[in-house]
Structure 1
């Protein structure tokens, strides 16, 4: 079994007992078992563990590294977080490339949504309701409370489970054997605990949703949609596996929504274009997208900017550059600095080797929005394609200074260094990239390669890289000792 398969199975096991966030306990030191939930897992420890878990998750699941979608989900998520109580740390939001409807929260304010959740939503309030629900799981400290409850029931069983999660991180095959041996006994009581968590997250999440200016009636509408869909498939929807949905729960959310005044909440343009982007790039087969969006445009009321944008993406991805360019240039005339359009236009120009035109356009956008990740990553990518490697290095290093976990930035930066034949920097940047994916052995190997590339006179650089390598080795050894 591959490490990715093990990680997915591990997450599946944890979801079934309400422990989606607890693999993080494997990553950076187990908390003391005992005392109340807050002392068992302090916010500081929770943030530390959650960050390591998220890095491991990014190295194991099919994450989406799309700067436009990243900007959208983080803007939406933080708009909701701003209306939540008991926020202990900054939140981060991620995408998993999966057509099934689901979302999950982990320790430390890390929340991920499947692309399928956005694709199936009929309004921004529906999608926001899912994110608000996951935010409530974090702010109500459901994982810490679960750890405390399990400790009171069976401390040794919980310790064995946590040990199995640790083992699964360092030795996947042995870890899964231990997990399967320890999971069963605690499963039923954990399911009951999870149902209580779900009800509380429904209640808190709906309040967050309404306070942030979204429609609370979207919650029962979305739940009703899920129950209707699950009747027509052989297997229950992923969301319903991880978020048990009874008829009583649906009724409860409907009654709660009725406490709020009904009002029309229009969808934002970012939601509409983000959903279109997901449909075109992650939901439909590439070869069918042109026909799908042409059909949408031909339907009554279908001649919208969103469908034109989707058709432009579809033609671009099918290498119909001239046709795509005509559509996107018309859209840019109406909204010249729309980054959704700028992003597609950049790829069209690069696909036709029009590097100078792409660089001139992106230079102007960069002057307007320096270090915006959408602009910077497009600009750096265009610079690499055009052979302006030092410009790309300058842009990417500045971006990583303010956003040091950007996977695409590390990937592009390593390409730029390789093209410059600066192999010490190339291997160091690859090490940084593998660290962001929690692949410690590969990161350490690449730091060794970076050291091998240094000349005899690079003493200060040698010391810096040696210190960096030792820090990674120490962190990795701590994980293996848990």
Structure 2
């Protein structure tokens, strides 16, 4: 299933970032922290703030909503979290559609990686080393400690401070400007405070990496790669702006890695296929991909399933359905329930109008893995294409019951209601979607549209949606007052 990238806000809008960082009560149950509570930023408060903050980030950056990539990064991330100490809340992992190498952690266990980070990783251990490093920033509460320390130097509002932190994490240059505008030169020391924790994150991240079964030598290897790349560009790599890399730091990680025994750790098939998917769909242009993967396949040792999979995606995205179908059917012969292949095969069948065949295949997959987001979203999408709107609604509502922040599910569900001409549900679902992106004004507008379509036809439904709108408005008003 082809993913969508949402561009709702401009990251440099400090007001929007301030909203992201401010606490709420009405819908998210956040406590009233107050302006001077940084010294008591408990893990519970940190988690609650982080959830609001990440919703705004999802509405501000070109996030990748690809169920296969989402499954991969969360499986890998939680494998690392399982080996971490001081884990105080569940972690969530996200992708940003960006070719530059970068990753960042925010409050409350929310971690995002640029697609470009995995694209340049030569092994799964290299990519895992980046995620482990970010996990260590969270478990050591570096951002929370930064907030508390900065407040001791110069008290400031929660929204302004956390807003500047998040901008600095995602966009270092904008973060510098925001901090200088907010509190003057004193904020420079705040960034230095954050950077001072890099060595601790390296040490803990490497330990977690090794205990999770990855190669600790991947850490200095990845750092060396970053150093080499930064020599040949005029501007420092984005990752190095938020994770400054000194020669001493590189040497330290090399020495730490040598404390572990050397052993060969092969990449998983999921990593290999994820990398092929990212290269084919998010790293190169669709015009480039066919030639790139054909060239890879022609090289000695290049006739791999990953390259065949990448070529199948490239053919599909260029409308070459027959050629793509031959490639993916050959792969399915070897691994008939592989979701990477099933996903592409579904798009090929839908592109050719073979809706019945797609539904039959996906029904069997759904019986094997009910509410798996890859299967469910593909199944619902195929049902919509085939005109089975009620089936799509049933599948998507069940998925949202267990995964209520799934952007693609909200998007498809709103399409289903629109096709059914159930406009009250259509506009309410659109409101839920915009709420997940922290776009309160748009969400409230959509609820008003829902109320207009309900009218007096259902008093109970009218009261329910009106109450939902009032809750959302109250939350938005409170955010604006912070």
Residue-pair matches, total: 461
In the alignment, the residues of structure 1 paired with residue 261 and residue 176 of structure 2 have an alpha-carbon distance, to the nearest angstrom, of: 49
Gaps of 5+ in 1: 12-20, 169-174
Name the residue aligned to 1:272.
Answer: 272
Per-residue CA distance 1:112-142 (angstroms, 9 max, x = gap): 0000000000000000000000000000011
Cα deviation for residue 190 of structure 1 reads: 2.3
TM superposition shift of 1:189 = 1.8
1:461 and 2:461 matched: yes
Note the 1:223-242 alignment, pairs <5 A: 223-242=223-242
Deviations 1:171-194 (A, max 9, x none): xxxx99975522541243224312
- 1:269 deviation in Å? 0.4
Q: What is residue 130 of structure 1 aligned with on the other side?
A: 130
8 A contact 1:23–1:165 mirrored in 2: no
Compared CA separation, residues 276 and 159, structure 1 to 2 (3 A): closer
The 1-side partners of 2:286 and 2:162 are apart by 43
Work out the CA distance in 2 between the residues paired with 1:432 and 1:381.
19
**Secondary structure of 2:89's partner?**
coil
Change in CA separation of 1:221 and 1:342 when aligned onto 2, cut-off 3 Å: same
CA contact (8 A) 2:22 2:158 kept: no
1:299: which partner in 2?
Answer: 299
TM-score, L = length of structure 1: 0.91
CA RMSD in angstroms, aligned pairs only: 2.3
| Alignment partner of 1:162 is 2:161 | yes
Question: SS in structure 1 opposite 2:11?
Answer: helix
Determine if contact 1:24/1:107 at 8 Å carries over to the other structure: no
**For residues 344 and 162 of structure 2, what CA distance do their matches in structure 1 show?**
47
Q: Is the 8 A contact 2:43 2:108 kept in 1?
A: yes
How high is the TM-score relative to the length of structure 2? 0.91
What residue in structure 2 maps to residue 7 of structure 1?
Answer: 11
- Mapped to 2, the partners of 1:160 and 1:83 lie a distance apart of 33
Q: Which moved more, 1:186-195 or 1:259-268?
A: 186-195
* Contact 2:64/2:97 (8 A) holds in 1: yes
Aligned equivalents of 2:159, 2:447: Cα separation in 1? 35
Structure in which a larger fraction of residues adopt helix: 1
Aligned partner of residue 95 in structure 2, secondary structure: strand
Residue deviations 1:271-330 (CA, integer Å, cap 9, x gap): 000010000000011101000000000001000000000000000000000000000000
Distance in structure 1 (CA, Å) of the matches to 2:195 and 2:147: 16
In the TM superposition, residue 47 of structure 1 has moved relative to its aligned partner by 1.0
4+ aligned runs moved over 6 Å, structure 1: 175-178
CA gap of 1:395–1:160, structure 2 versus 1, over 3 A, is closer
Segments of 5+ residues of structure 2 without an aligned counterpart are: 1-6, 25-30, 168-174
Q: Secondary structure at the match of 1:7?
A: coil
Q: 1:204-243 to 2 correspondence within 5 Å?
A: 204-243=204-243
After TM superposition, list the pairs within 5 Å mapping 1:290-369 onto structure 2. 290-369=290-369
Residues 1:163 and 1:387: Cα distance change in structure 2 (over 3 Å): closer
Match of 1:172 in 2: none
Please tell me whether the aligned partners of residues 33 and 151 of structure 1 are also in contact (alpha carbons under 8 angstroms). no
Which residue matches 1:443? 443
Give the match's secondary structure for 1:111.
Answer: strand
**Residue 67, structure 1, aligned to residue 63, structure 2:** no
User: 1:279 and 1:241 mapped to 2: Cα distance?
Assistant: 24
Give the distance between the partners of 2:276 and 2:112, measured in 1 at CA: 19
Please give the alpha-carbon distance, in whole angstroms, between the structure 2 residues aligned to 1:192 and 1:53.
22
Counterpart CA distance in 1 for 2:178 and 2:269 is 48
| Residue 21 (structure 2) aligns with | 25
- Name 1:17's counterpart in structure 2: none
Q: Distance in 2 between matches of 1:177 and 1:451?
A: 42
1:130-173 deviations in Å (ceiling 9; x for gaps): 000000000001111111211222225x769439769x9xxxxx
Change (3 A) 1:25 1:163: closer
